[in-house]
Structure 1
């Protein structure tokens, strides 16, 4: 029996650690679901006017309504949509109440023949956002082709001579049939805690199985020696 004590203690301790990590991930999952619910509720709030000095943290996802004029200046951001394929997010300069901001008008397929350089009066309802899409692997924009590979609000604002404020359209009046709005949602916010929890609990089961197998082998060897 003495040879079984150390493996059983080691097995129980390892399983306890793995199970506790799984429980912690379940607690993190509950916390993250609460955060996502708060964000979604904020996204769906009644729209307000665009703040005079928006804060990238405090005003992230703020629902806003704005009326003004598209200038015809725009940028294309290469993206891909499920069941649709490759296309562009169209980011346009938008003049509203004496200021210039950016408006993400939505998605246009690459094969579309329509021009996104719209001009004229438009009313938008949407959300402010400062996407964090640029990393060390993001290619620099191809300015000659007017092609960007991520939404970099400060850089796009410099390119279009606007404030570093991005309104992501949920609806436009009049609507542009060639561009489908891609409104802000919580779908792009990662929430992998359930997968992590399943991994830890699975490892705990494997660990306990290995411990049980080791104990069985030790017992079998002891029984064979006794006989």
Structure 2
């Protein structure tokens, strides 16, 4: 009887300790993620600089830049949906900077109904942020090249199709403005940060586990009445 009670006590306290440790780990991850988001936000809001000669996906991620160039034809369309607006497309156009250098410009959102009528081209001054979105995974459908429908911003693949370097500037401001297009600036709102919810879940499970263990031990120790 004593050995069984000791075993149940160890299981109850051990299980609660593990769940509490997982909760503490998520709290630590929350602080880490918040620090990352603050760093990204400060970089996004910095003053724009000239486009680096050889942008690096890690060192230059979210770096604000200002560029002047000429938009080329043949823009790619990435399927997206906007709250309170509906389905539409991100418009990714080739941008010639002169001297043979070409990059890609994410010009923003166009409604699905207006897709055919919006064909940006010509000289522009663009202020935005460098970004290498991580939107492609094992579940992302292959792009419909013939129909010009992409399901994620795959920078290397889009650059190959457009004949540009794999550099993407996401527009914050375009001068002159392009009718029918609304810029979708880089922001941290879409960076997942669910660690607080996970922490609450683990702490709640620890409390439930401990309460159930105590109730079970009390039942086993309660005197048995014989009829």
Fold match by TM threshold 0.5: yes
Contact kept, 8 Å, 1:74 with 1:116, in 2: the verdict is: no
Distance 2:146 2:10 in 1: 66
- C-alpha separation between the residues in 1 aligned to 2:97 and 2:23? 50
- Selected match of 1:167 from 166, 169, 185: 169
Partner of 2:21: 20
Give structure 1 stretches of 5+ with no counterpart: none
TM-score of the superposition, structure 2-length normalised?
Answer: 0.93
SS of the counterpart of 1:148?
A: coil
CA shift, 1:47, in A, is 0.5
Question: Per the alignment, in what secondary structure is the counterpart of residue 121 of structure 1?
Answer: strand
The partner residue of 1:118 within 101, 108, 120 is 120
Q: Note the 1:21-170 alignment, pairs <5 A.
A: 21-98=22-99, 99-112=101-114, 115-170=117-172
Q: What does residue 178 of structure 2 align with?
A: 176
SS at match of 1:111: helix
- Which segments of structure 1 move beyond 4 Å, counting only runs of 4 or more? none
Superposition RMSD on alpha carbons, in Å? 1.7
TM-score by length of 1: 0.93
Aligned partner of residue 43 in structure 2, secondary structure: helix
Unaligned runs of 5+ in 2: none
How far is the alpha carbon of 1:124 from its aligned partner? Answer: 0.7
